[in-house]
Amino acid sequence: MDSNTASLGPAVVFGTSGAIGRALAARLAISGVYSSVWGGSRSEPVDVPPGVIPFRFDPADEASLSAISASLPAPPALVLVATGLLHDPARGIAPEKSWKALDGGAMAEVFAANTIAPALIAKHMLPLLPRDRRAVFAVLSARVGSIGDNRLGGWHSYRASKAALNMLVRNFAIELRRSHPQALAVALHPGTVDSRLSAPFQRGVAAGKLFSPDQSAGYLLSVLDRLTPEDSGGLYAWDGTCLPE
Ligand SMILES: NC(=O)c1ccc[n+]([C@@H]2O[C@H](COP(=O)([O-])OP(=O)(O)OC[C@H]3O[C@@H](n4cnc5c(N)ncnc54)[C@H](OP(=O)(O)O)[C@@H]3O)[C@@H](O)[C@H]2O)c1
């Protein structure tokens, strides 16, 4: 971590029951840069990394977002949103190869996790960012949500929900700049990371390109350290590349 982020406010991670969210919270706690590190999950927190203060939230229940807003002891220097959904066979959710596979219910679930959850978290967290110093709001998006980068098609709901998320982040960045000129709102692509989300799709991944959650978390935090307010609104990959939205 460089001095850019040594602002000592709290860091808050939403989605710490997930692989990347947990790894991000663990790294932030080890870094010692933030006054406290908070890790939120929908389910009862288990296997909480040392130094992380667990909390429960459910984006479908805005009162839970108000509650965590009110619990933070100081304006957050960093807010990370690591929620997301690609597949859930138990609920009949799978990435669609064709428009023939589209199902309204499954699509709504994917948008709820990938687009609406981060949007509502932003609604409650962006106003808390400090106005007089650097602060970062970052969401985990995905390269496949880039419209400009889409050459393969497929995965309709996931791609569209992440594209919508990228648009929201751009909108939030524009709105945020007016009141918080030193703050950033960005979307991140973590690479292909070994997790529940990617498990069924890891076969074609080139050797060395399947990151551990901790490896990806390290890359993402380094990228965030290097971004400036001029970069706000963009979609950045794990290696710092700015991707087309
Ligand atoms: N892994 C990859 O290769 C990869 C690649 C590109 C982008 N990403 C993105 O990175 C992020 C993290 O993914 P991951 O690999 O760490 O996946 P993961 O281990 O499956 O974690 C997903 C997290 O999202 C939460 N979640 C799912 N649906 C939710 C909802 N409706 N409301 C609130 N929380 C919800 C889960 O909570 P529960 O435990 O309560 O379900 C869990 O904490 C996602 O946004 C994903 O799209 C991942």
Please check whether residue 210 is in contact with residue 193, taking contact to mean a CB–CB distance below 8 angstroms: yes
Please check whether residue 39 is in contact with residue 53, taking contact to mean a CB–CB distance below 8 angstroms: yes
Please check whether residue 34 is in contact with residue 72, taking contact to mean a CB–CB distance below 8 angstroms: no
**Using 50, 70 and 90 to split pLDDT, how confident is the model at 33?**
very high
- Determine how many CB atoms are found less than 10 A away from the CB of residue 156: 17
Is 70 exceeded by the pLDDT of residue 3? no
Ligand 1 atom 8, closest CA? 142
Which of 46, 61, 83 has most ligand 1 atoms within 8 Å of CB, for mutation? Answer: 83
Strand partners, 235: 187, 243
In this structure, what CATH number is given to the domain that contains residue 87?
A: 3.40.50.720
CA distance to 12, 45, 69, 78, per residue, from 17 (Å)? 14, 7, 19, 18
When pLDDT is averaged across residues 88-114 and rounded to a whole number, the result is 96
59 ligand 1 Cβ < 6 A? yes
Phi, psi of 176 (to 5 degrees): -65, -35
Centre of ligand 1 to C-alpha 58, Å, is 14
Residue 7's pLDDT is 58
198 ligand 1 Cβ < 6 A? yes
Is 90 exceeded by the pLDDT of residue 204? no
Number of folded domains in the chain? 1
Phi, psi of 18 (to 5 degrees): -90, 165
CA distance to 42, 63, 111, 121, per residue, from 58 (Å)? 5, 9, 15, 10
Is 70 exceeded by the pLDDT of residue 81? yes
20 ligand 1 Cβ < 6 A? yes
Atom of ligand 1 nearest to the CA of 194: 1
Structural domain range at position 104: 3-243
Please check whether residue 214 is in contact with residue 23, taking contact to mean a CB–CB distance below 8 angstroms: yes
Percent of the chain with pLDDT over 90: 93
Phi, psi of 33 (to 5 degrees): -80, -30
Which of 42, 87, 243 has most ligand 1 atoms within 8 Å of CB, for mutation? Answer: 42
Is 90 exceeded by the pLDDT of residue 4? no
Is 70 exceeded by the pLDDT of residue 134? yes
Taking the C-alpha atoms of residue 54 and residue 37, their distance in angstroms, rounded to an integer, is: 9
